[in-house]
């Protein structure tokens, strides 16, 4: 770790120690012992600031709680890890965690009717309304990850033995959500371009109806799949689903928070997004939005009464287990939201930068793109079997040579040891970072005398 990054963390940790002194004091102020401890911490902080200014010093704190290493990959490297790119926290989110990290911090001002989405200070109720508007749906709830959004919908709509239409590229959590509800997944096959089409969806629905004698209870479809990051015709698939009176769930794990999503224009009934994957939020976090038509069913409140106490909890929503995200997790999502909304407006620029890098990678002879090309998304699956893997076959480090070369130049996040097929994501990288990334790959290719065509 560079000494300046090291000292940044030490400064942050020292400030937290100073906060802790106040947390152990009484409201009238610090006593003599506490003042002395506070002064000592100020002296430590000043020393760290001096080292920061001089870009000097030695590592004082290397682990948190003696066992947790400091994570500095976002400060010291360009991280092209496929699932981390759009989940990087904004500065505002990191500040929110510092202020609201305590477990039940969101409940400080919880009043009747005692439900998370009704809290007004901080503005959690307004945030829920803003989320619904953001994806152009009627009602929204925050959930512990996209998978819990899938689960809420399947448990509300799917009965034992029901068929649920999914993509042949569906994420495993969609399978688990269906299985947990007692349903059975029915996959729609891909075409020659690795895309799910409306026509193929209609054929699959007809096959299921003939086989089971019953219409599927739900269609769950990824707008952008996690394997190839191809963009599928959700609007067309939604029209097909509705022709059979089947509700459709839009999996926006790789779209909500990074590109424009209009649920009603797409014609979907449910929009699910991932906070930690695409909304610059702490994990686990996500969003589930729906229409007024389906809101009452998916966000139904409990009707159960205690047999001895006769207690009722009617305001609590069953699928949300009363309340969902609390503390720093939710506040990180709220704090990042203004920046998330703004960055969504610049999606075309993100795609342009992605294509710039991919074009440079393709100039290295033997490299291919397995995703749609030109790219429509920043997540891409590439095949370097004909380029970097030819070096790996004889290199003493095998496929790890590429990881070594990249990390030595400040690039991390590729699948370590992979030189055949692997994925990367350029989302959130600046112009100069993407240019540097491209230059690094070209430089490595030149080092090993791989042919380059411009």
∠ CA 403-408-412 to the nearest 5 degrees?
50
The three-state secondary structure class of 364 is strand
Cα–Cα distance, 183 to 186 (Å, whole number): 10
Angstrom distance (rounded) from CA 10 to CA 3: 10
Q: How far is CA 421 from CA 19, 69, 83, 385, in A?
A: 48, 30, 16, 7
Question: pLDDT digit of tens for each residue in the chain (454 aa)?
Answer: 899 999 999 999 999 999 999 999 999 999 999 999 999 999 999 999 999 999 999 999 989 999 999 999 999 999 999 999 999 999 999 999 999 999 999 999 898 889 999 999 999 999 999 999 999 999 999 999 999 999 999 999 999 999 999 999 999 999 999 999 999 999 999 999 999 999 999 999 999 999 999 999 999 999 999 999 999 999 999 999 999 999 999 999 999 999 999 999 999 999 999 999 999 999 999 999 999 999 999 999 999 999 999 999 989 999 999 999 999 999 999 999 999 999 999 999 999 999 999 999 999 999 999 999 999 999 999 999 999 999 999 999 999 999 999 999 999 999 999 999 999 999 999 999 999 999 999 999 999 999 999 7
Instruction: Give the whole-angstrom CA distance, residue 198 versus residue 297.
Output: 27
Spatial separation of the C-alpha atoms in residues 59 and 10, rounded to whole Å: 9
**Of 18, 74, 105, nearest to 335 (Cα)?**
105
Helix (H) or strand (E) holding 43: helix 32-54
* Adjacent-strand bridge partners of 232: none
pTM of the model: 0.95
The single residue listed with the structure tokens 């919880």 is 110
Distance between CA 377 and CA 236 in Å, rounded?
19
Token digits for 58?
A: 């030695």
Q: Report the alpha-carbon angle 303-306-309, nearest 5.
A: 135
End-to-end CA distance of the chain: 36
Q: Going by DSSP bridges, is the β-strand pair 379-383/421-425 parallel, antiparallel, or unpaired? A: antiparallel
Residue 166 gets which letter from DSSP? E
Query: Tell me: the pLDDT tens digits for 241-300?
Result: 999 999 999 999 999 999 999 999 999 999 999 999 999 999 999 999 999 999 999 999
The Cα 152–Cα 319 span in angstroms is 5
Length of the chain: 454
The pLDDT tens digits of the residues spanning 360-409 come to 999 999 999 999 999 999 999 999 999 999 999 999 999 999 999 999 99
Structure-token pair, residue 423: 């994925």
Residues whose CB falls within 8 Å of the CB of residue 352, separated by 6 or more in sequence, listed in order: none
Note if the bond before 284 is cis, omega within 30 degrees.
yes
Short-list 279, 386, 378, 387, CA closest to 335? 279
Rg (CA), the chain: 25
How crowded is the C-beta side of 205, counted as CA atoms within 13 Å? 24
**Half-sphere exposure for 393 (CA within 13 Å, toward CB):** 8
- Tell me if 341 sits within 8 A of 332, measured CB to CB: no
């Amino acid at each position: 770790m560079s000494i300046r990054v090291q000292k940044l963390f030490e400064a942050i940790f020292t400030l937290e120690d100073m906060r802790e002194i106040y947390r152990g004091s009484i409201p009238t102020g610090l006593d003599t012992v506490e003042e002395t401890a506070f002064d000592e911490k100020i002296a430590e902080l000043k020393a760290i600031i001096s080292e920061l200014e001089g870009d000097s010093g030695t590592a004082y704190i290397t682990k948190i709680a003696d066992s947790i290493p400091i994570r500095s990959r976002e400060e010291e490297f360009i991280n092209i890890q496929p699932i981390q790119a759009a989940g990087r926290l904004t500065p505002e989110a990191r500040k929110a965690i510092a202020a609201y990290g305590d477990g039940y911090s969101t409940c400080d001002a919880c009043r009747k009717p005692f439900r998370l989405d009704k809290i007004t200070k901080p503005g959690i109720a307004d945030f829920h309304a803003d989320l619904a508007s953001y994806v152009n749906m009627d009602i929204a709830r925050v959930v512990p990850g996209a998978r819990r959004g899938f689960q809420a919908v399947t448990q509300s709509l799917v009965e034992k033995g029901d068929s649920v239409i999914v993509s042949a590229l569906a994420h495993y959590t969609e399978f688990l959500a269906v299985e947990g509800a007692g349903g059975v997944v029915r996959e729609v096959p891909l075409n020659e371009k690795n895309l799910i089409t409306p026509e193929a969806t209609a054929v699959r629905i007809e096959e299921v109806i003939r086989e089971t004698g019953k219409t599927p209870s739900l269609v769950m479809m990824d707008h952008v799949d996690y394997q190839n990051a191809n963009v599928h015709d959700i609007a067309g698939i939604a029209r097909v689903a509705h022709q059979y009176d089947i509700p459709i769930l839009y999996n926006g794990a790789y779209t909500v928070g990074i590109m424009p999503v209009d649920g009603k224009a797409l014609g979907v009934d449910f929009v699910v997004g991932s906070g930690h994957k695409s909304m610059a939020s702490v994990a686990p976090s996500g969003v589930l939005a729906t229409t007024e038509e389906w809101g009452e069913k998916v966000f139904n409140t409990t009707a159960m009464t205690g047999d001895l106490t006769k207690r009722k909890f009617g305001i609590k929503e069953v699928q949300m287990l009363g309340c969902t995200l609390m503390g720093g997790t939710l506040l990180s999502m709220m704090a990042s939201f203004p920046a998330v909304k703004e960055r969504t407006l610049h999606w075309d620029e993100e795609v342009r930068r992605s294509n710039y890098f991919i074009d440079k990678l393709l100039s290295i002879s033997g490299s291919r793109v397995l995703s749609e090309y030109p790219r429509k998304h920043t997540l891409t699956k590439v095949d370097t079997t004909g380029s970097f893997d030819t070096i790996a076959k004889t290199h003493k480090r095998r496929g790890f040579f590429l990881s070594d070369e990249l990390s030595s130049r400040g690039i991390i996040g590729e699948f370590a040891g992979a030189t055949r097929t692997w994925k990367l994501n350029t989302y959130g990288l600046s112009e100069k970072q993407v240019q540097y990334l491209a230059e690094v790959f070209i430089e490595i290719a030149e080092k090993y005398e791989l042919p380059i065509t411009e």
